[in-house]
Amino acid sequence: MTDIASRIIYEDNHLLIVNKLPGELSQGDKTNDRTIADDVRGYLRNVYEKPGNIYLGIPHRLDRPSSGVLVLAKTEKALVRMNELFRSEDAVAKTYWAVVDRLPDRPEGLVVHYLTRDAKKNKSTASLNERIGSREAKMRYVITGASKNYFLLEIELLTGRQHQIRAQLAAMGSHIKGDLKYGAPRSNENGGIHLHARSMSFIHPVKKQRLTVYAAPPDDPIWNYFASLAANGSISTYQLES
């Protein structure tokens, strides 16, 4: 089991929220590789001395090469209610950090595309015009930092399409560091990409209080540099409002 305990941001009887690392699977796929859910079940089994099967629901996912906030449900009631929240476009506020090689044309703005999914290639294409089978994708971005070779964008995700941020940024001519699938010139050593689910905020499905969580980016020189520019950028924490 990996160091899952040290990456838990929030836990109660209903939810467990963890900081996913690049390369970890959110849920099982055709590779049959171990998933983060497998590690969380191992943690729950060891810490709470639970024998047998352990219930764990997955109301959303993160792309394997990305990192950050991942919510898991410890009860069926919590899973059903979290599924409802994620299906509603305005019930869950999601903020991402992306390290890109080129700046967008404007320092900030609302971006709207239509995404067409190619299941065989496991890739989405973003276009300005609606196409047969496409779905509207919306996000807001602002440039928040710069280094010698890269730029940091903070992105508010307004719709939840597969590979949305990666496809929309590629269509804008900005490529996420390490993201070969969407036009980056080279991969990262660990096979991950510099796309990080930084924060998430929603009304707790059982406690009915607003829960806001923040995940520190992975430990590497580029993330460490950009995190140092942001207040508390290297901290994983949560706020539960009354």
**Per-residue confidence band for 50, with pLDDT thresholds at 50, 70 and 90:** confident
- What's the pLDDT at 136? 96
- Out of 16-20, 29-33, 36-40, 115-119, the most confident range is 16-20
Instruction: Identify which has the larger pLDDT, 33 or 86.
Output: 86
Quick check: 14 pLDDT over 60?
yes
H helices of the chain, in order, are: 36-48, 76-87, 164-171, 221-229
Round to whole Å and give the CA distance between 50 and 89: 36
How high is the mean pLDDT of the chain?
94
Q: What is the pLDDT of residues 195-220, one digit of tens each?
A: 999 999 999 999 999 999 999 999 99
Q: Which of 49-58, 129-138, 203-212 has the lowest mean pLDDT?
A: 49-58
Q: What is the pLDDT of residues 141-200, one digit of tens each?
A: 999 999 999 999 999 999 989 999 999 999 999 999 999 999 999 999 888 999 999 999
- What's the pLDDT at 2? 55
Residue 129 · residue 181 · CB < 8 Å:
no
pTM across the whole model: 0.94
Other beta carbons less than 10 A from residue 72's beta carbon: 25
The strand pair at 210-214 and 195-203 is best described as antiparallel
Quick check: 80 pLDDT over 50?
yes
The pLDDT > 90 percentage for the chain reads 86
Report phi then psi at 182, rounded to 5.
-115, 30
- What's the pLDDT at 1? 41
Round to whole Å and give the CA distance between 91 and 99: 26
Round to whole Å and give the CA distance between 6 and 115: 36
4-240, CATH topology level = Pseudouridine synthase (3.30.2350)
Quick check: 21 pLDDT over 90?
yes
